[in-house]
Amino acid sequence: MTEQQPRIPHHIEAAQVGADIRTAKCIAPHATAAQIRETWDYRAAGLTVDAARDMIERWREGDRSWRHPKPSEPATERILALGQHIRRMREQYQALALHVSADDDRDTPTWDYPEINWTAGERRFVTRRQENVTWSDNRNRRYPTSSRVTYTTYLLREDYATAPHASVLRGLAQVPMSLLAEAQITHDTRGDWHRRVAAELLPGVDIGVRVWVRYKALAVEGDVLMSIYDGSVYELGMERSQTAKADHRGGYYTYPSPADAAAVEVPNNSQCRDLPRLIVQCEVWGRAVAYDNGKEAHTHIRPVAIVG
């Protein structure tokens, strides 16, 4: 069996026969011998005009990709369509980069808000919530048989605002979040998950204490602010702590906006249900539990101002 000779790169082959490959590839496919000699004296290399044309065609073959239409030919419809697709992908990428640049005031993704943006150590993270539902095989009664919620956090590249090369974008139908990220991890949201995830994706990062602004409805009697539910006293600037637990088993309940706090529904057995109410802006931190109706339970709370 004959051993196959290694392929000589086109630019080296061109140099061996006295041609400048960049100018030779611009020669028209049906150029005359005289026109070819204006650019390349193929006869000095002992070649016929047909052999020269074959070499030029072979050199040009390496450039027949969507990025490099032949210099002597107009762009085809496929090239134009790919150019339009790349522009759309760049616009979609820039829109996504702008979206994740905005700071978020939520602590955990919820059913209503399945994505949050946060920072640690001057780096930006994006956490997304996804619910995977398994449906029954019964065609007459379609209902879910199981559901599993997962959270994925992306560590964005430091230059995430810069779109990647067109060769990366051309095969995409839409821009995924992973294209902006340098690393990602799937996790749960138990405990101080921000600190745990940040340390996994960026070892040595100092996340500090994450403080959030939330709103809480409190009953008022005279100058005293009280919990609507149990009548315990709140004071502006006073910190309270109770471990937040799922299923309403602990924590201080707050809402992301004053309107949500004002619309709170309390149990009939609440001690201060019939007293007037005020909306108080609070600082919250520590372990948190998010509920699908927008309510959140936080481990630490400090009322800071009356807002309504």
The predicted pLDDT at position 68 comes to: 47
Query: Which residue in this structure is represented by tokens 């699908």?
Result: 292
For residue 95 the two structure tokens come to: 């829109």
For residue 204 the two structure tokens come to: 């040595």
The predicted pLDDT at position 81 comes to: 86
Query: What are φ and ψ of residue 221, in 5° steps?
Result: -135, 105
The whole-angstrom separation of Cα 231 and Cα 156 is 45
The whole-angstrom separation of Cα 202 and Cα 182 is 10
For residue 142 the two structure tokens come to: 């379609």
- What size, in residues, is the chain? 308
Model confidence pLDDT, tens digit, residues 47-73: 888 888 888 888 877 654 434 444 545
The predicted pLDDT at position 136 comes to: 78
Write out residues in the chain with pLDDT < 70, as ranges.
1-7, 29, 62-75, 105, 141-142
The whole-angstrom separation of Cα 289 and Cα 299 is 9
Model confidence pLDDT, tens digit, residues 249-307: 999 999 989 999 998 888 788 888 889 999 999 999 888 888 878 889 999 999 999 99
The whole-angstrom separation of Cα 232 and Cα 270 is 11
